[in-house]
């Protein structure tokens, strides 16, 4: 749970999850993606990206309240950091924050015996690279490599495909 972009609760209560408590998603590496989410006012899936020693994919649901004032805090002591789009004066709609889930991609790609499934590609002499672009077209030319079998360039015969996660409406 992240009122005003500040992570205040996480589950399960592990030491790793507790490290994100207090994180302000309107500052640092998550700011641009948080602003995209607020401006779209829609469910957003982002990642994979590294955080706290694991690779995660997140899905976040923004929460908005209408007929409220710009000064409404809902009893929360911290406010959104430098966020001009968090309140719409015309509609009197204010972004409360969001709820989200983070999925550990490493765990999803590891079978019950502990075998990392992408290693099967390497074992078959195939190279792979899983990369992600920032959300919302921000810096589209920038890619972050999440997993790869080699840091060498891919061959001319490499098959590269963009995979897009879309909303299911």
- Sketch the domain layout of the chain as residue ranges: 6-108
Provide the 3-class DSSP secondary structure of residue 161: coil
Per-residue pLDDT, 134 = 60
Per-residue pLDDT, 142 = 60
- Contact partners, residue 97, CB within 8 Å, separation at least 6: 1, 2, 3, 4, 5, 6, 62, 63
Distances, alpha carbon 46 to alpha carbons 34, 63, 141, in Å = 10, 17, 17
- How far does CA 154 lie from the centroid of its chain? 27
- The pLDDT tens digits of the residues spanning 92-135 come to 999 999 999 888 888 888 889 988 888 888 888 888 877 776 65
Q: Is the pLDDT of residue 169 over 50?
A: no
Per-residue pLDDT, 105 = 85
Q: Scan for tokens 């990642």, then name that residue.
A: 47
pLDDT averaged over the chain? 83
d(CA 121, CA 16): 30
d(CA 104, CA 75): 32
- The pLDDT tens digits of the residues spanning 5-33 come to 999 998 888 888 888 899 999 998 888 88
Per-residue pLDDT, 72 = 93
pTM: 0.70
- The pLDDT tens digits of the residues spanning 142-151 come to 667 777 887 7
- The pLDDT tens digits of the residues spanning 42-65 come to 888 877 877 777 888 888 899 999
- How far does CA 113 lie from the centroid of its chain? 28
- Hey, how many other C-beta atoms are within 10 angstroms of the C-beta on 90? 5
Distances, alpha carbon 67 to alpha carbons 42, 106, 151, in Å = 19, 43, 53
């Amino acid at each position: 749970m992240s009122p005003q972009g500040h992570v205040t609760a996480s589950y399960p209560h592990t030491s790793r999850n507790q490290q994100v408590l207090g994180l302000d998603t309107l500052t640092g590496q998550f700011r641009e993606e948080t602003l995209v989410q607020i401006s779209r006012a829609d469910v957003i899936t982002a990642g994979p990206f590294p955080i706290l020693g694991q690779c995660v994919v997140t899905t976040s649901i923004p929460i908005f309240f209408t007929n409220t004032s710009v000064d409404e805090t809902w009893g929360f002591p911290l406010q959104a950091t430098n966020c001009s789009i968090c309140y719409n004066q015309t509609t009197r709609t204010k972004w409360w924050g969001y709820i989200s889930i983070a999925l550990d991609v490493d765990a999803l790609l590891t079978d019950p015996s502990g075998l990392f499934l992408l290693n099967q590609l390497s074992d078959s002499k195939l190279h792979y690279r899983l990369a992600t672009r920032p959300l919302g077209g921000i810096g589209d030319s920038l890619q972050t490599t999440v997993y790869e079998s080699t840091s060498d360039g891919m061959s001319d015969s490499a098959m590269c495909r963009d995979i897009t996660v879309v909303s299911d409406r």
